[in-house]
Amino acid sequence: MARRKRKSSGVEYQDIELNIMPFIDVFSILNIFLLVSASFLSIGVIKVQVPFFTNAPVPPEKAKRSLSINVDIEKTKIELKTSYSQPPINEKIKKFDNNEAGLKDLHTELVSIRNQNPDTDLVTVFSEDDVTYEEITKLLDAIKIRLPSDPAFANKADEDDSEVEKMKLEGMLYPKVVMGSVIL
Amino acid sequence: MASFENKSSDSISLNLTPMLDVFSILVTFLLMTYSTDPVSHSTREDIALPMSSTIAVLDEIPAVSVTKKELWLNDNKITDVIGGDVPETDRHQGAIMPLYKELVKIKEVNDRVLESLDPSSKNKKSKKGTLTMEMDSGHNFKLMKRIMLSGQQAEFLTFKLVVSKPVE
């Protein structure tokens, strides 16, 4: 706090000024720290799995009648195929355009399927070779991400999921995606 | 901006208010965009990541990086990428042979470390690995499939695809 004494027409008074230098020091240090540690591009990950063949016996829960959801992506179209593992198979095929509107429709359809089959949390994706990584990312977003307007689903965590991943599960529509085309 | 007092004392005082204004705005902006992601990572120069609305954050440094022209595993260049694919000499049954060999080495090292930490895990089935992969958004699934096949053969069954997401 700085004080100055002035004399004006014989009256003595004190002019008080706020010492803002420590404030500026703190701001400078904070600025430098934030500028150095700032990341202007946020990076995320999309977790997918590849199939693996094993001769281990089929777990008993897999032997039950369950729904299988397959998504085939091509350069211009996306095909959604659903079928049950045991009769009645009840196979259904729906086609969508590989564009923003088509992906939105696909997402709506997947939400409806999940509503009817809340235990099914896995989607198998098959892709043509000429589909770009960007298009696959958009498709994975449509499959995995639950929008705020979508209902919440109870997703089970995997054994190898981290605590952070377990926390994020409630924001997922289908948390498990297998890249079915990755087979020798 | 300096202000001059032309009085008997001739004192000069610096007007710091505009500087404080700028500092306040800058600090507010930086605090708003401050990322608390567990891992901070800069992608390679020639990789344009695809945009995604994923909620999962990066939790480990990517191991496989595919730029427009090269394929890297950690800091080792594995092979070139020509016309969106690896050279024919590096291909084997759809996979990338040099990448597979390197991944097998990494898997062996990982298993040995696990074994040294927990000797009882020696006779157990080895844990399936996870591979974090960053790739240029323009590459085709053909190349992605080759990398995944190489990983699959080396028992890396989970892939974390690195994407760019909007800053929250």
Q: Go through the domains of chain A in sequence order and give each one's CATH number.
A: 2-37 (no CATH), 60-179 (3.30.420)
What residues of chain B lie within 8 A of the CB of A160, using their CB? 127-128, 130, 158
pLDDT of residue A127: 94
Average pLDDT over residues A134-150: 92
**What ipTM does the predicted assembly reach?**
0.76
- DSSP H helices, chain A, are 21-37, 100-116, 133-144, 163-168
Minimum distance, in Å, between the CA of residue A152 and any CA atom of chain B: 15
pLDDT tens per residue across span B9-27: 577 777 888 888 888 898 8
Are B64 and B96 within 8 A, CB to CB? no
Model confidence at B37: pLDDT above 70:
no
Q: How far apart are CA A82 and CA A47, in angstroms?
A: 22
CB contact under 8 A, A133 and B57: no
Residue of A nearest to B9 (CA): A6
Are A119 and A66 within 8 A, CB to CB? yes
Model confidence at A4: pLDDT above 60:
no
Minimum distance, in Å, between the CA of residue A87 and any CA atom of chain B: 31
Which are the contacts of A126, defined by CB distance < 8 A and separation ≥ 6? A70, A71, A72, A73, A180, A181
Which residue of A47, A49, A131 is in closest CB contact with B56? A47
Tell me, yes or no, if B26 comes closer than 8 A to chain A by beta carbon: yes
In the block, tokens 């022209």 appear at B69
CA dihedral A97→A143→B133→B83, nearest 10 degrees, is -10
What residues of chain B lie within 8 A of the CB of A52, using their CB? 128, 152, 157
Minimum distance, in Å, between the CA of residue A32 and any CA atom of chain B: 9
What residues of chain A lie within 8 A of the CB of B137, using their CB? 132-134, 137
Residue of A nearest to B53 (CA): A141
More confident residue, B71 or B120: B71
What residues of chain A lie within 8 A of the CB of B24, using their CB? 27
One-letter identity of residue A82: T
pLDDT of residue B63: 85
CB contact under 8 A, A27 and B137: no
pLDDT of residue A6: 54
Average pLDDT over residues B32-40: 69
Average pLDDT over residues A96-125: 93
Chains A and B form CB pairs within 8 A to the count of: 179
Model confidence at B139: pLDDT above 80:
yes
Q: How far apart are CA B15 and CA B149, in angstroms?
A: 65
Average pLDDT over residues A100-112: 95
Minimum distance, in Å, between the CA of residue B76 and any CA atom of chain A: 22
- Of residues B137, B142, B127, B133, the one with CA closest to residue B160: B133
Q: How far apart are CA A78 and CA A101, in angstroms?
A: 12
Are B4 and B12 within 8 A, CB to CB? yes
Cis peptide, bond prior to residue A87, ω within 30 of zero: no
DSSP B51: B
Please, is B168 exposed, middle or buried when counting C-beta atoms within 10 Å of its C-beta (0-12, 13-18, 19+)? exposed
One-letter identity of residue B41: H
